[in-house]
Every structure is written in structure tokens, then in C-alpha cells.
Amino acid sequence: MTNTQIQAVRPRPATPAEVAPRPSARDRGSRLLAALFLAPTIVGIVVFTVVPIAGSIVLSLFHWNVIDDPSFAGAANYREVFGDSTVLVSFRNTLVFMVFAVALQLLIALVLALAVNGRMPVWLRSVFRSAFFFPLVLSAASISVVMKYLFNQDFGVVNWLLGLVGIAPVPWLTSENGAMTAVVLVYVWQQFGFSFLLFVGGLNNIPKEIHEAASLDGATGLRKHLTVTLPLLSPTLLVASVVGIINALQVFEQPYVLTNGGPGDSTRTVVMFIYESAFEQLRFGEASAVGVLLFVLIMAVTALQFRLSRRFVHYQ
């Protein structure tokens, strides 16, 4: 290659006209306005999310009991956590709870959304939508207090009703399986309304023509839902499952009020462990370490969901 050729392929200096134009006053005003509108949200996220997360990570490296000054502990809190069988049981319980609660929540919400989306007077549809959403606006702690009465083995309404049909009293809150079942049922009863509303919205977004075309091709009933509705609803399912899993992994009020984590540790969840370690036993460093691990778990599960969604979620 000759020098002349090299020179020929060298980029020539840009002329003043080709340099990116400086933003006009109008552009700067527009950007400033956008920044002003975004500022409250960004400040909120930084103050209430980013700073506490960073604070927890830092605190997980210290021993701190609120009363005395924190002392640096390095990885000691993490070693303590990994050697504590209660922590491992709490994570196992939380994962078991998450699997059953989210599956049941999505299933009930989907079935009811399909039912409500069928032929029905508009006013009745509105009644159902409000009724299914209503538990979500109630306090989880208050609901759990009421449910604790209902599920009481000796005096509860649930066992009284079961007794009417000849079923012996179930130790809902005092046996390991019964306690987890009761916690899942109470949680799902309160939470499914959110997924239900998402599904109703998602179903309304599916063009009627597609269903009509499927009908013309001979698809009916369940087959039509499996082959047409579900694939087209998969983006909504993804959102509902992501939100559902994140919430379920942070469950606290229901097991705390209903069973106090018992019997034994059978319903002790990770967030319950964090609360007890920090605010009852004054082990804020260890509690923060468990909090960091839960954060990592939630991030990992969510990332996995989005990765899997490439194969299972169909966007129109």
C-alpha cells in the first residue's frame, strides 16, 4: 500500500458544519424540564432504596447491637449465617412457600380472570373485579389476626365448618404441614387480586380476531385457551410471576402473626429471621448479612425468569 493510498483512506478532519450541533436553548430547557420531572423519583429511589441497600451491605460487615458503637467484623457475620441452621431452614421455608403461594396465586387469578372475562353483565364484572382486589388494600397483619381466629384448631370457624361435613379438626396452626398450608392460603387469598387485575388487562388486549380465527380453525374451550390465550398472555404472566415471586420471597406478616414461625421453625421465613435477629436479638450485622443474601437470591431468581422468558414468552 502506498503512502498516497494510506492518506486517501485516512479520515479527513471534520468541517465545522459536520460537528455535532450544540444544543439550542430550547433543547436545554427541554432537558432541564425532564430532569426536574424525574428528580423526585430519582431522589426517592436513591434515598429509600439505593442508600438502604448500600447501608445494609456495609452493616453486614459490622457487629452492631444499637446500644454500642459498631465494630468491624469482616466476613464474620456471613460465616455465622452460613453456620446457623435456622437461617438455612428459613431460606428453605421461604422457597417452599414461594413455590406454592405463587403457583396457587397465578392459577386462581388466571381462572377467575378468564371467568370474569367471559359473557357477563358489565356491572357484575365490576363487582367481581372490586371484590377480588379488595383484600389487597387491607392490612396483612389485620387479616392475619382475623385468620388466626378462623384457623384455631379448637375454636375456629374453619374446623367447625369441616366438622359439619364429618371432617375431624385439622391442626392448622399447630402442625408443620397445617401451619404452612394456612400461611399459604391466607397469603394467596390476599394477594391473588393483583395478578387477577393484570390478567384481566392482558386478556382485554388480546385481539378478538385471533380468537375468532382460532374458532374458525376448529379450536374450542380449553384447547383455545392453551394454544391461543396463554401464549398471547405470556408477557402478562411473566410480569405477574416476577412480581409474585419477589413479594413471596419477602413474606413476613402472615407467618409472623399466624404462627410466629412455628411450630418449631416450620414457617419461619427469611424476613422473619431478619426481623428477629435485628430487632429482638439486636444482631443488626447478622440480620443485614441475611438481608444481603435475600437480595442476591431475589436478583438471581428474577434474572433467571427473564432469561427463561426468551423461550416461553411470546410478544405479538
Partner 1 sequence: MTDSHLTRRTLLRYGAYGAGAAALAGTAASWDRLTGADIPGRDDDSLVVATLGPAYGPEAIRTLTDGFKELHPDIKLRINAVQAVDWSDFFAKILTQIAAGTAPDLVYVATEGVQLFAQRLGVALDKWVKRDAAELREYFADVHPSLVESMMYEGSLYQLPVEFNAADMYLNHQVLGRAGASFPAADWTRDDFTALLRDMKKSSGSQFTPYFWTNRLWGGVVPWLFANGTNLLSESKAPGGAWLWDDFYPAAERRGRGGGFRWTTPQATDARVEEAYDYLASLIQEDLCTRPEGGNGQNLVGVFSTGRVGVTPAGGFWAGGLHLAGMKATDYDVQYFPRWRTQRMQFGAAGYALLRTSKRQEEAWEFIKYAARKDTLMRLFKTNQTTPARRSMLTADRYRETGPNHWQVFYDTLDKFPDTGPIPAPPQVAEVEQVLLKHTGTALASRRAVAPALRRMQSDLEKAMERDV
List interacting residues with partner 1 (CB under 8 A).
Answer: 24-27, 29-30, 33, 65-67, 145, 148-149, 152-155, 160, 163, 171, 173-175, 257, 259-265, 276, 279-282
Closest approach, Cβ 263 to partner 1, in A, equals 4
CB atoms within 10 A of CB 218: 8
- Residue 146 has which C-alpha cell? 382475623
Question: With respect to partner 1, which residue has the nearer C-beta, 76 or 214?
Answer: 76
What DSSP assignment string belongs to 261-272? T-STTTT--HHH
Compute the least distance from the CB of residue 66 to partner 1, in Å.
4
Closest approach of Cβ 269 to partner 1, in Å?
14
Task: Kindly tell me which of 279 and 306 has the beta carbon lying closer to partner 1.
Answer: 279
Between 279 and 312, name the residue whose CB sits nearer to partner 1.
279
Q: Whole-number minimum distance, CB 2 to partner 1, in Å?
A: 50
Residues 215, 8: Cα–Cα separation, whole Å: 65
CB–CB of 290/87 below 8 Å?
Answer: yes
* First CA to last CA distance, the chain: 52
Q: How many residues does the chain have?
A: 316
State the nearest-atom distance from the C-beta of 30 to partner 1, in Å.
5
**Which residue's CB is nearer to partner 1, number 247 or number 260?**
260
132 vs 256, beta carbon nearer partner 1: 256
Tell me the chain's radius of gyration from C-alpha atoms: 27
Q: Phi, psi (5° rounding) for residue 71?
A: -125, 140
